[in-house]
């Protein structure tokens, strides 16, 4: 269970990224006139937009606004020579979204049109959806060809191996180049016969006399005699001072705490499995290493012995990092630390944390990751969203043009060169679920306004708030616990100004799961629980002993645990063999 949890944590979730490498613009006929600034390209003849040397993506999404100096002009769009679309362009800017699959390293986007036309595009952005790491080819939207298809052993480069090659140590089942400094065992007497054969159920103590105190690593090789079908739940438990013991499951080849599984020479008419563990130890606190063993199989318990021990006092791991400006990253290309003055956000190193994230230890942490009870109901983050899903229905429409613009990593609504959000109002009804408060946040700019009365308005359940142009952002928390909420957003501007919104978020602070009514996020803040929760004590408002409450009901604590808070957080172990061997008390 712990194992599954670890792998869940390290999974990397892919998403759309904007291509930040420089685009190259070239006329197709050399006499064509092209005017270009950051957000606007004007041309009187066909041209090519190029990005070079991109790797490992599967899908492209192009966003731009386009217009021509005539209406109903057809522009032929080709990508790497292949016809993709005819754009029907008007005299006013219109937003285009084009998505297609693409694998080549260069992208050449060609706009073809006649000489009698002047064609303009603005806010051109190209987004890529990348193939997951370890995926070679992924046109279908999923990985079509995994380099390491379902490798259940260890991953070394593009191979699936039983054991990492020399000079490599496995970490989360990936072989990492590691340099180790081994201690000469002669200098540190081990006063035991390490090869003694033990039954599962017996223990062995190793007394090691260290000349010095240090934090180090122990490599320990066990030969285990048994049969997988009978002994799969046998355990070797290596005791650690002031830390949770390390467990090795010798007959379950799951590579948890182990570096290899190998066949060895049969004895006692039993199979022999050789497993190698590699464990961090704090040797300053511990001169005795005790290895306990246990088997559920009472009659035929199987045997084990220690084959070899090596100790190391230095370990340096070399992760190859392909993330820009990342100082240190893990085996699966998850950046853990950016270079100085940069912050880690969504596995990239950025100069500035996006708004609605919190700066902490060189990282930008999203509010909802920091606070588990926060749930985003609306999030304006990418320009792929629909206006309707963000703002709701237009209820008072002046036929104003309102669209998305993506600039400097931020999505704006109503900010295009021709966009005029002046008097349009949007209405949205939100179903919030069980919650105890809400929070509305957005950045606002009222551009080109001439009147002091110009303002942006928002209405929550009938109560209206005005935001004047001297205010550039709103952060409005509010106690609220009704399930349905009506929200109106509108711009009220008299002349030629316009409203521009960015970083728009609406979030609720949730009740704990299965709670019908609450005043805060904790289980103790719950005033009423859902009916019919199995194994739930409604008098005490909590699960029966031996169970804990999760999102779906009362769940049994882990094996050997008497009282627990969550599956991995046991407050009290049982007073029996299961408790002694399977239960990991939470420290
Ligand atoms: C338009 O392009 C032609 C070449 O195709 C060029 O000779 C002409 O000067 C351009 N017109 C303008 C207004 O830039
Ligand atoms: C549109 O622009 C082209 C190129 O600049 C020009 O030759 C043409 O006369 C323009 N047409 C109109 C109707 O303005
Ligand atoms: C985007 O960044 C550029 C360069 O840093 C800056 O000139 C421009 O004003 C920025 N745009 C917005 C909308 O912040
Ligand atoms: C958005 O609002 C936040 C409020 O903290 C502010 O720090 C940030 O500069 C604003 N962004 C823009 C583009 O105005
Ligand atoms: C902004 O302007 C409005 C109206 O002009 C005024 O009522 C409000 O106090 C001002 N707010 C700030 C923060 O200056
Ligand atoms: C700003 O307002 C003036 C009139 O007050 C108008 O002529 C001008 O076009 C406006 N500028 C923009 C960029 O909307």
Q: Which ligand is nearest to the CA of 447?
A: 6
- Please indicate, yes or no, whether residues 365 and 385 belong to a single structural domain of this protein: no
Which has the higher per-residue pLDDT, 211 or 7?
Answer: 211
**What is the mean pLDDT of the segment spanning 412-424?**
79
Question: Where is 492: in which H helix or E strand?
Answer: strand 484-492
Report the atom number in ligand 5 closest to the C-alpha of 452: 5
Cα 466 to ligand 5 centre (Å): 10
pLDDT of residue 1: 34
| pLDDT surpasses 60 at 425 | yes
DSSP state of 490: E
Report the atom number in ligand 1 closest to the C-alpha of 44: 1
b/e code 444-478 from CB counts within 10 Å (16+ = b): bbbeebeeeebbbebebeeeeeebebeeeebeeee
Number of domains comprising the chain: 5
Maximum distance among all Cα pairs of the chain, rounded to whole angstroms: 94
From atom 7 of ligand 5, which residue's Cα is the shortest distance away?
468
- What is the rounded average pLDDT for all residues in the chain? 84
- According to the per-residue pLDDT averaged within each range, which of 214-228, 283-297, 406-420 is highest? 214-228
Q: Nearest Cα to 66, choosing from 36, 96, 106?
A: 96
14 lines ligand 2 (CB under 6 A): no
- C-alpha span between 238 and 257 (Å, rounded): 11
Split at pLDDT 50, 70, 90, the class of 8 is very low
- Please indicate, yes or no, whether residues 217 and 292 belong to a single structural domain of this protein: yes
- Please indicate, yes or no, whether residues 87 and 123 belong to a single structural domain of this protein: yes
- Please indicate, yes or no, whether residues 425 and 404 belong to a single structural domain of this protein: yes
Among the residue ranges 15-29, 243-257, 430-444, the one predicted with the least confidence is: 15-29
pLDDT of residue 146: 66
- C-alpha span between 7 and 16 (Å, rounded): 23
pLDDT of residue 420: 81
Cα 472 to ligand 3 centre (Å): 16
pLDDT of residue 255: 84
pLDDT of residue 471: 92
**pTM > 0.75: yes or no:** no
Split at pLDDT 50, 70, 90, the class of 145 is low
Q: CA torsion angle for 328, 332, 333, 339 (degrees, to 10)?
A: -10
468 lines ligand 5 (CB under 6 A): yes
- Please indicate, yes or no, whether residues 183 and 299 belong to a single structural domain of this protein: yes
- Please indicate, yes or no, whether residues 314 and 338 belong to a single structural domain of this protein: no
Report the atom number in ligand 6 closest to the C-alpha of 448: 1
- Please indicate, yes or no, whether residues 204 and 124 belong to a single structural domain of this protein: no
**What is the mean pLDDT of the segment spanning 113-130?**
88
- Please indicate, yes or no, whether residues 392 and 501 belong to a single structural domain of this protein: yes
- Strand ranges in 215-356 using DSSP code E only, listed in sequence order: 215-226, 235-238, 246-248, 258-267, 270-282, 288-294, 303-318, 326-329, 335-338, 343-345, 348-350
Split at pLDDT 50, 70, 90, the class of 39 is confident
Among the residue ranges 68-77, 181-190, 403-412, the one predicted with the least confidence is: 181-190
**What is the mean pLDDT of the segment spanning 40-58?**
85
Residue 465 neighbours by CB under 8 Å, 6+ apart: 457, 458, 459, 476
- Please indicate, yes or no, whether residues 185 and 312 belong to a single structural domain of this protein: yes
| pLDDT surpasses 60 at 12 | no
**What is the mean pLDDT of the segment spanning 224-249?**
85
pLDDT of residue 135: 67
- According to the per-residue pLDDT averaged within each range, which of 137-141, 357-361, 518-522, 556-560 is highest? 556-560
Pocket (CB within 6 angstroms of ligand 1): 29, 31-33, 44-45, 115
- Judge whether 555 and 569 are in contact, CB under 8 Å: no
pLDDT of residue 402: 86
- Please indicate, yes or no, whether residues 180 and 314 belong to a single structural domain of this protein: yes
In a domain, 165, yes or no: no
Going by their DSSP bridges, the two strands 303-318 and 270-282 should be labelled as unpaired
In a domain, 481, yes or no: yes
- Please indicate, yes or no, whether residues 313 and 355 belong to a single structural domain of this protein: no
What residues make up the domain containing 70? 16-130
pLDDT of residue 283: 76
Cα 403 to ligand 6 centre (Å): 19
- Ligand 4 pocket test: which of 357, 443, 471 has the largest number of ligand atoms within 8 Å of its C-beta? 443
| pLDDT surpasses 60 at 500 | yes
In a domain, 5, yes or no: no
Split at pLDDT 50, 70, 90, the class of 7 is very low
**What is the mean pLDDT of the segment spanning 70-90?**
93
**What is the mean pLDDT of the segment spanning 24-42?**
84
- Please indicate, yes or no, whether residues 266 and 381 belong to a single structural domain of this protein: no
**What is the mean pLDDT of the segment spanning 368-384?**
83
């Amino acid at each position: 269970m712990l194992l599954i949890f670890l792998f869940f944590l390290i999974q990397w979730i892919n998403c759309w990224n904007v291509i930040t490498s420089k685009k190259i613009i070239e006329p197709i006929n050399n006499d064509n006139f092209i005017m270009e600034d950051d957000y606007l390209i004007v041309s009187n003849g066909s041209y090519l937009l190029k990005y070079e040397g991109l790797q490992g993506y599967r899908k492209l999404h192009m966003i731009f606004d386009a217009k021509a100096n005539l209406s109903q002009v057809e522009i032929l769009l080709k990508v790497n020579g292949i016809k993709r679309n005819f754009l029907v362009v008007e005299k006013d800017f219109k937003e285009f979204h084009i998505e297609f699959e693409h694998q080549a390293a260069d992208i050449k986007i060609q706009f073809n049109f006649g000489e009698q036309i002047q064609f303009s595009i603005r806010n051109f952005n190209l987004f890529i959806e990348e193939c997951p790491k370890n995926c070679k080819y992924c046109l279908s939207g999923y990985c079509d060809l995994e380099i390491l298809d379902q490798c259940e052993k260890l991953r070394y480069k593009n191979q699936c191996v039983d054991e990492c090659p020399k000079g490599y140590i496995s970490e989360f089942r990936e072989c990492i180049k590691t340099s180790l400094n081994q201690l000469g065992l002669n200098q540190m007497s081990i006063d035991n016969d390490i090869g003694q054969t033990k039954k599962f159920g017996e223990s062995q103590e190793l007394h090691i006399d260290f000349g010095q105190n240090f934090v180090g690593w122990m490599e320990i090789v066990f030969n285990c005699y048994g049969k997988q079908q009978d002994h799969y739940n046998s355990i070797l438990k290596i005791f650690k001072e002031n830390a949770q013991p390390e467990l090795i499951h010798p007959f379950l080849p799951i590579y948890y705490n182990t570096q290899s599984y190998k066949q060895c020479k049969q004895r006692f008419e039993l199979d022999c499995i050789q497993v190698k563990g590699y464990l961090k130890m704090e040797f300053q606190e511990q001169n005795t290493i005790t290895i306990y063993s246990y088997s559920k199989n009472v009659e035929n318990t199987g045997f084990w012995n220690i084959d070899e021990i090596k100790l190391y006092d230095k370990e340096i791991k070399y992760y190859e990092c392909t993330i820009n400006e990342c100082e240190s990253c893990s085996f699966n290309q998850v950046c853990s630390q950016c270079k100085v003055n940069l912050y880690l956000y969504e596995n990239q190193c950025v100069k500035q944390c996006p708004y609605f994230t919190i700066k902490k230890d060189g990282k930008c942490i999203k509010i909802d990751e920091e606070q588990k009870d926060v749930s985003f109901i609306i999030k304006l983050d990418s320009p792929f969203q629909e206006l309707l899903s963000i703002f709701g229905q237009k209820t008072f429409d002046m036929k104003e043009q309102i669209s998305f613009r993506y600039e400097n990593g931020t999505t704006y609504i109503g900010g295009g060169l021709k966009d005029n959000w002046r008097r349009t109002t949007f209405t949205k009804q939100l179903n919030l679920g069980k919650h105890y408060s809400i929070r509305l946040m957005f950045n606002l700019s009222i551009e080109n306004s001439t009147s002091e009365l110009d303002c942006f308005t928002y209405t929550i359940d009938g109560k209206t708030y005005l935001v004047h142009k001297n205010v550039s952002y709103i952060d409005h928390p509010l106690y609220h616990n009704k399930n349905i909420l009506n929200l109106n957003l509108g711009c009220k501007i008299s002349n030629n100004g316009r409203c521009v919104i960015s970083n728009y978020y609406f979030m609720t602070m949730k009740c704990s799961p299965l709670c019908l009514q609450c005043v805060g996020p904790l289980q103790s803040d719950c005033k009423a629980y859902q009916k019919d929760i199995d194994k739930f004590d409604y008098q005490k408002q909590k699960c029966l002993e031996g169970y804990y409450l999760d999102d779906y009901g009362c769940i049994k604590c882990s094996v050997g645990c008497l009282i627990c808070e969550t599956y991995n957080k046991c407050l009290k172990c049982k007073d029996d063999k299961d408790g002694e061997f399977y239960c990991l008390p939470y420290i």
